[in-house]
Amino acid sequence: MSHPANDPGARPEPEDDGVGRPAAGKAAPTAADLATQYAAKSGVRRNDAGQIDVLSSIGGVQGLAESIAPGLVFTILFTITTDLQVSLVAALAVSAVFTVIRLVSRTPVTQALAGLVGVAFCAFVALRTGNAEDFFLPGFFINGGYIIAMTASVVFRWPFAGLLFGFLRNEGIEWRRDAARVRAYSIATWIIVSVLALRLVVQVPLYLMENVAALGSTRVAMGLPLYALGMWLAWIVSRPRG
């Protein structure tokens, strides 16, 4: 899909009216437009066989490393040294290195930069409380927020999986006219919610027990790789029949 800025046949954008608002005549984005924009920015991709490309969807090997390495380094160093500050600095350094690599190689830095900000915030929380396990605390709230949002999407008949996969399958939001497709995408969304809920079920007790080694290990194992598996299962379950 070509970007309007690079498409010689694209319709020019209306000019600004001088007060920061689009000139009259520009239609407000429709639900289909918003769904398409969301899906396009999600990073989820299909391979040549028409199946979801799991590795590409999580940013490839580099994206996987960016997701796993900071938490893994923090867990290993703290387990060995029990020095919170050293462990936090090391985690931040690893995340910063990935961002620099992307800058030098001139590849998109959004994922790495978001990871760096996330690690910095986790480090800030742990440093303020003085508890190593609090490095993982913000992740619980983010995870819970996704669970609430995805559950709401099913309740309001806009299941998250449909918004994401409908774009990849060229269904747009037409699938909402078919009760069977809505049901399939709702089930697919529940699969993803189950993965997120499983993280909390396993990791919250470890957090309460202040078991940093086990918490960090399960965070790595149940992080992006498990989420990617959930996305793949959701894709399979929601595939069109016939």
Identify whether the C-beta of residue 231 lies closer than 8 Å to the C-beta of residue 54.
yes
**What is the tens place of the pLDDT at every residue in 89-126?**
999 999 999 989 888 888 777 777 888 999 999 999 99
62 and 143 belong to one structural domain: no
**Number of Cβ atoms within 10 Å of the Cβ of 61:** 9
Position with higher pLDDT, 38 vs 60: 60
Indicate whether 106 belongs to any domain: yes
Spatial contact of 95 and 68, defined as CB atoms under 8 Å apart: no
Can you tell me whether residue 14 is helix, strand or coil? Answer: coil
Same domain membership, residue 237 and residue 175: yes
pTM of this structure:
0.76
Question: Are the CB atoms for 82 and 98 separated by under 8 Å?
Answer: no
Domain residues for the domain of 216 are 135-242
How do residues 161-171 score in pLDDT, each as one tens digit? 998 888 888 88
Residue with the larger pLDDT of the pair 172 and 76: 76
Overall domain count for the chain: 2
Using the 3D structure, point to which of 68, 99, 130 is the last residue of a domain.
Answer: 130
164 shares a domain with 185: yes
Q: Which residues contact 170 (CB under 8 A, 6 or more apart)?
A: none
Residue 50 lies in a domain: no
Higher-pLDDT residue of 40, 236: 236
Where a domain ends, among 92, 110, 130?
130
